[in-house]
């Protein structure tokens, strides 16, 4: 329920999506407020899921919203996504995105990925068995531990696109960002699409390999 999740959840609830499951383990801080539009100064110190739940229910009381106040892990991800139609990425680090991506493939649930940094952002839609997965892009973990500076409107632009992709997925309409990475640069106001291909040697979705360590950990989770 940060910059991406706040905007996406708001637009999905406003669009009449019947059920949302929102997950975050953090608490609202003053430094969040430039981009995390579901929170205000009166929410500082609250769990982000509680603050988000209040705003979303006020917006659309007919949307069934389940808050999960927890950081996602290999051990809890299956419980988080059971029964979901789409996984929408509102995370802020590569480790969490890799967990979402692998769980998406394991449970055959589409994954709408997004990332932001400064004035730039990117979006893509991954559909298990049909498209490359996020791991096919060969993102590298830079070891970034400090918060990345983000101008407020950047996640607003990117999360709006995420929401649009999610609505199209659910309704089965339009052209999705499949096999394409949409890259936005707010400094020169440009969008460009990068074509993607599936990596046959991908450790997660490749035909000859699989992420056994991750799958083994998921198999230990009570079903």
Domains for the chain: give ranges and CATH numbers.
Answer: 3-219 (3.40.50.720)
Residues 99-153 have pLDDT tens digits of 999 999 999 999 999 999 999 999 999 999 999 999 998 765 555 545 557 899 9
Query: What gap in Å lies between CA 71 and CA 81, rounded to an integer?
Result: 13
State residue 149's pLDDT score.
77
Asked if 181 and 174 touch (Cβ cutoff 8 Å), the reply is: no
Asked if 80 and 35 touch (Cβ cutoff 8 Å), the reply is: no
Residues 159-205 have pLDDT tens digits of 999 999 999 999 999 999 999 999 999 999 999 999 999 999 999 99
Higher pLDDT, 83 or 146: 83
């Amino acid at each position: 329920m940060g910059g991406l999740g706040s905007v996406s959840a708001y637009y999905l609830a406003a669009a009449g999506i019947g059920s949302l499951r929102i997950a975050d383990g953090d608490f609202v801080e003053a430094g969040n407020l430039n981009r995390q539009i579901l929170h205000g100064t009166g929410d500082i110190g609250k769990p982000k899921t509680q603050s988000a739940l209040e705003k979303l229910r006020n917006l659309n009381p007919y949307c069934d919203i389940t808050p999960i106040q927890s950081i996602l892990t290999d051990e809890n991800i299956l419980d988080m996504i059971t029964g979901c139609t789409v996984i929408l990425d509102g995370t802020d680090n590569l480790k969490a995105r890799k967990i979402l991506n692998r769980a998406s493939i394991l449970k055959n649930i589409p994954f709408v990925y997004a990332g932001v940094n400064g004035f730039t952002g990117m979006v893509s839609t991954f559909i298990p068995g049909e498209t490359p997965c996020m791991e096919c892009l060969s993102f590298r973990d830079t070891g970034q531990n400090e918060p990345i500076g983000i101008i407020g409107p950047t996640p607003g632009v990117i999360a709006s696109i995420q929401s649009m992709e999610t609505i199209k997925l659910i309704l089965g309409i339009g052209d999705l960002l499949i096999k394409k990475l949409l890259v936005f640069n707010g400094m020169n106001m440009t969008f460009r699409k990068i074509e993607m291909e599936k990596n046959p040697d991908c450790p997660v979705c490749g035909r000859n390999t699989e992420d056994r360590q991750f799958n083994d950990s998921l198999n230990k989770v009570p079903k």
